[in-house]
Structure 1
Amino acid sequence: MRPATFLRVFATWTSLALSTCAASIDSPTVEHCPFYTGANTNSATCTTRFEFRCEGGCQKSFVEAQGCLPADNTGGNLTAPTTRTCDVEFSMVTPRINSCVSSTYGKFSCKGPSSGFATCSQCIRALHGCSDLVPLS
């Protein structure tokens, strides 16, 4: 390949990549999030098929997880698994174990089924590979 042709191809690919990043910047949306962190903050994260940053936080509804035991000393002296509402965080540790953080009861490791989702607002899709082009705060 001649140097001039290579430069044109490189310039075209670079232009396409940058325009793809720019085209991915969406208007803020409300998302129903099966996995989330920092629900009670203005920098909540939401994971669906995509990853979002939600400046409006998450409220209204949250995941309810079953089979939960304290993950550390923050959960009290529970020995029997309980059901918890995860109003701060719900994330997957392994395919069979989820982490649930409750503002009232602390952090739990949950092995049972879960239901529901967090409703998060002012969400913008995270742009992997383009994050330096988009101000996040």
Structure 2
Amino acid sequence: MRNFLAHRYFRELLSLRLPVGDFVICGSGPLYARGWIDDPTDLDIVARGEAWRIVAGRGPVEPAPYSAARRVSLFDGDLDVFDDWFPQIGTVDELIAGADLFGGLRFMTLDVVATTKLMMGRERDRDHLAVLRAHGHAVP
């Protein structure tokens, strides 16, 4: 299995030196970390507390495209860091507390990934839902 931490996006994330208890990797990141997809296209991260303060100091804070959250885009769009996710899925604290751990980093659970991808419904989301199903994950 490849070392997902060697990917440029993860190296960029780690270069920020964010407190690992204050963020969770979401979107396609959990699939990439498991080796189920070849390219995450970017990393979506939800941050709180000190992690959010660090990120907000590194770039402009703008409205997120799909929710009421705020976003900071870093490294030419490689990383999109949000201060919230989709409130109907859970609070930031709940998403971080319930996260899966890989390589010392927190990743959203596959249930949350599936719910998010069902809500978004883009072509890549449908592709990722098929990947989840192929790996035995129940998708509603």
Shorter-chain TM range is under 0.3
Larger Rg: 1
Q: What TM-score, normalized to structure 2?
A: 0.24
Q: Which has the higher contact order (CA 8 A, sep 6+)?
A: 1
Name whichever structure is richer in strand by fraction. 1
Q: What TM-score, normalized to structure 1?
A: 0.24
Name whichever structure is richer in helix by fraction. 2
